[in-house]
């Protein structure tokens, strides 16, 4: 019985092959499915009655999602890695060499090895639906596309277009892929079979060749111009990755070394590159994060209960501000009938205007079609009252962070909704318990903490309050999963998981501003470490007023160790205190970045009053002061079961804050440094600043020689 490639008898000479790995939720390429494909190719080659082959997925939403990543975990030596890459290369070369035409009908995810398979077919037709995505995201796993993608993608779309696609792993929808020449056409799903028959009947006479353009054509033909493209790409990669990720540079080397050489030599370079990358810690960490993110599409099995996301059909969002409008649009775009409610018509109108603006931007960037944008708007209904909510499965509250207001909202919602509707608060500064205390049915109240902006940030914290019913938690989680979010289940406390762990990091940046000779070195050290931006830039992004408000809440909840840095307190007490909310810590000038003069004045005044002398700290010392307290707080969260596993902490911090992915998350980084060193450093710092004192769990683990993760990971 076929495992994934199901082929019957030819119909009028055409062999229709259904791709359907029935034992798995998605189609993927493993050793076994590759071997089965090889046997199928042999059958096609030997059967003279077959005049054409059509490959079509039998799974909704997936063509082939890529290589079976679990195969990476089975590889135990460089030779095994080389053989796995070689296996796919040879089989796809055999597919290319078939004398009969082959057609890939692409509907759903066609990624990585799946796209490399499609590129080995003579013609590719994609549907124009929302779920169809084509791309080579291997770089995100720390590897090079191994089965011919670096060779065939440039041939399909042109060298200059292929380079950024390979280096970023960016996905394209069907229409975008057709414009670039990656597929030969994009049509409605219902037309795929007809187009395939027409292609085979006409021999592809109606297929329009890709127009390379003058510059693109010259680049495709001239090696020196290709090298110029790669030189520019190298500069861009260095700028964006700071050299932390080796895979993009290996891709550039493979492309450069492949100029003017045979296909066999090019593919040999690919095998060598992947063998080298497979032995690097960065690749191991990126693959691990991939598995964690895939597991994060639903509640952990240990929770004991789950709800099918497809059963969430009706939702509502209370509060039409930027956050509420973004959440409502996420739901509507995923096919959920959604109501967006606020207290005044002008507020709702403003929210709908934001929704239309986001849809317009996506249509303009061709992420969605105009029809898909219209359909999302059709599913979204504005309202200023609570009527019509009896059918709602989940409601998300996103009103102002004032407890009395939230209590009133949840009291009204309890009366306006059915008993099976989950009531979720998107609060970031209050606890779920505090919000639930003001409703007559606290068991229905859970937390769904979206990160801003909700349409871009992948993480959602699913917060289980002390009285939250498990069924309600599962329904709220199902809504977030339906939106395509990565979930992490966390306990209820001030700041939940991500903001609580991040708070010491952000606050320490304030201490450092007042103490180091050059405050700009703080952000430089963080970026060199691998953060997407420095803590001062992050404070400016969030807003000094918001950051100050959060720090006050953290102090109220956790006491002296979260005492706001003196510089932030000094700014609030300054003559320009009314301007602090909109103030930037770092200013951009014609001569570069500098500390805001108002902040500098407050720093100097603070130094005069306290007698503090400026220090010159190395980047390592700055990172120790920023990151070690973050690790310390994460250990407390594990001890208090705010997070169940160290993996949850790492996933949340990488997906919620961008914590250096190549380091695997803060607790993987802690293991690499060694807990004894971290405790020793914190003890030394705590001698003058008690806020650094290691928590009991961290101290206990260091004394026992323990790690947050097993040593063999």
DSSP conformational letter for 59: B
What is the C-alpha to C-alpha distance for residues 612 and 466, in angstroms, rounded to an integer?
A: 45
What is the C-alpha to C-alpha distance for residues 474 and 309, in angstroms, rounded to an integer?
A: 10
**For 705, what's the count of Cα atoms within 13 Å in the CB-facing half-sphere?**
1
Helix (H, G, I), strand (E, B) or coil at 396: strand
Those residues with Cβ within 8 angstroms of residue 517's Cβ, 6 or more apart along the chain or in another chain: 614, 615, 616
Neighbouring C-beta atoms of residue 385, cutoff 10 Å: 10
Of the listed 449, 455, 511, 709, which one is catalytic?
Answer: 449
What is the C-alpha to C-alpha distance for residues 444 and 423, in angstroms, rounded to an integer?
A: 6
Identify whether the C-beta of residue 219 lies closer than 8 Å to the C-beta of residue 226. yes
Is 709 noted as a catalytic residue in this protein?
A: no
Identify whether the C-beta of residue 246 lies closer than 8 Å to the C-beta of residue 275. no
Helix (H, G, I), strand (E, B) or coil at 64: strand
Q: Which of 583, 589, 429 is nearest to 513 (CA)?
A: 583
Q: Longest C-alpha distance within the chain, in Å?
A: 92
What is the C-alpha to C-alpha distance for residues 39 and 42, in angstroms, rounded to an integer?
A: 5
**Cα–Cα distances in Å, from 463 out to 199, 467, 606?**
52, 11, 40
Question: Any idea of the CA torsion for 362, 368, 370, 374, to the nearest 10 degrees?
Answer: -90
What is the C-alpha to C-alpha distance for residues 38 and 173, in angstroms, rounded to an integer?
A: 29
Measured at the CA of 668, the angle between CA 663 and CA 670, to 5 degrees, comes to 100
Identify whether the C-beta of residue 427 lies closer than 8 Å to the C-beta of residue 447. yes
Helix then strand then coil, in percent of the chain rounded to 5, is 55, 15, 30
**Cα–Cα distances in Å, from 106 out to 117, 133, 420, 432?**
11, 9, 39, 44
Residue 296 C-alpha from the chain's centroid: 11
Annotated catalytic residues are 449
């Amino acid at each position: 019985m076929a495992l994934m490639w199901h082929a019957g008898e030819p119909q009028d000479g055409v062999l229709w092959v259904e791709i359907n790995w029935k034992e798995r939720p998605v189609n993927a390429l493993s050793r076994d499915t590759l071997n089965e494909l090889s046997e199928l190719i042999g059958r096609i080659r030997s059967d003279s009655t077959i005049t054409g082959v059509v490959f079509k997925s039998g799974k909704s939403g997936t063509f082939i999602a890529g290589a079976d990543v679990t195969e990476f975990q089975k590889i135990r030596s460089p030779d095994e890695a080389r053989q796995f890459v070689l296996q796919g290369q040879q089989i796809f070369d055999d597919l290319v060499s078939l004398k009969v035409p082959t057609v890939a009908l692409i509907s759903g995810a066609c990624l990585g090895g799946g796209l490399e398979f499609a590129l080995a077919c003579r013609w590719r037709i994609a549907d124009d639906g929302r779920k169809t995505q084509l791309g080579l995201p291997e770089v995100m796993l720390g590897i090079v596309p191994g089965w011919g993608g670096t060779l065939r993608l440039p041939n399909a779309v042109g060298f200059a277009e292929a380079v950024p696609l390979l280096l970023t792993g960016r996905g394209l929808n069907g229409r975008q892929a057709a414009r670039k020449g990656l597929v030969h056409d994009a049509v409605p799903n219902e037309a795929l079979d007809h187009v395939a028959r027409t292609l085979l009947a006409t021999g592809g006479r109606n297929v329009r060749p890709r127009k390379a353009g003058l510059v693109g054509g010259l680049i495709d033909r001239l090696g020196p111009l290709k090298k110029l493209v790669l030189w520019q790409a190298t500069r861009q990669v260095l700028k964006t990755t700071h050299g932390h990720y080796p895979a993009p540079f290996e891709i550039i080397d493979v492309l450069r070394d492949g100029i003017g050489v045979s296909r066999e030599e090019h593919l040999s370079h690919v095998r060598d590159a992947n063998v080298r990358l497979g032995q690097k810690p960065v690749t191991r960490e990126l693959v691990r994060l991939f598995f964690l993110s895939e597991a994060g599409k639903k509640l952990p099995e240990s929770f004991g209960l789950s709800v099918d996301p497809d059963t969430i059909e009706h939702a509502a969002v209370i509060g039409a501000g930027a956050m509420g409008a973004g959440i409502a649009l996420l739901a509507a775009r995923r096919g959920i009938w959604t109501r967006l409610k606020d207290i005044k018509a002008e507020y709702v109108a403003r929210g709908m205007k934001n929704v239309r603006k986001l849809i317009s931007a996506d249509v303009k960037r061709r992420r969605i079609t105009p029809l898909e944008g219209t359909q999302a708007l059709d599913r979204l209904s504005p309202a200023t009252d609570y009527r019509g909510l009896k059918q709602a499965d989940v409601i998300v509250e996103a009103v102002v962070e004032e407890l009395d207001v939230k209590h009133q909202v949840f009291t009204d919602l309890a009366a306006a909704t059915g008993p099976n509707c989950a009531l979720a608060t998107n609060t970031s500064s209050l606890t779920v318990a505090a919000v639930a205390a003001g409703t007559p049915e606290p068991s229905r109240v859970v937390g769904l903490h979206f990160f801003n902006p909700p349409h871009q940030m992948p993480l959602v914290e699913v917060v289980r309050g002390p009285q939250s019913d498990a069924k309600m938690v599962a329904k709220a989680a199902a809504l977030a999963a339906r939106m395509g979010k990565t979930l992490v289940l966390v306990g209820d406390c001030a700041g939940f998981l991500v903001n609580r762990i991040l708070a010491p990091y952000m606050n320490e940046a304030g201490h450092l501003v007042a103490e180091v000779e050059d405050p700009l070195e703080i952000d430089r050290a963080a970026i060199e470490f691998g953060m997407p931006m420095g803590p001062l830039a992050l404070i400016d992004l969030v807003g000094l007023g918001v950051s100050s408000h959060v720090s006050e809440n953290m102090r109220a909840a956790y006491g002296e160790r979260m005492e706001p840095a003196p510089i932030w307190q000094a700014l609030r007490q300054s003559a320009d205190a009314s301007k602090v909310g909109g103030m930037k810590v770092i200013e951009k000038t014609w001569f570069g970045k500098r500390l805001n003069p108002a902040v500098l004045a407050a720093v100097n005044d603070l130094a005069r009053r306290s007698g503090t002398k400026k220090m010159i700290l190395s980047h390592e010392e700055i990172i120790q002061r920023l990151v070690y307290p973050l690790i310390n707080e994460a250990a407390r969260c594990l001890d208090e079961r705010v997070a169940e596993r160290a993996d949850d902490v790492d996933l949340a911090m990488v997906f919620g804050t961008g914590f250096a992915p190549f380091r695997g998350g803060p607790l993987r980084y802690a293991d690499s440094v060694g807990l004894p060193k971290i405790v020793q450093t914190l003890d030394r710092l705590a001698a003058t600043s008690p806020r650094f004192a290691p928590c009991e769990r961290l101290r206990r683990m260091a004394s026992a020689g323990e790690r947050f993760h097993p040593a063999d990971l």
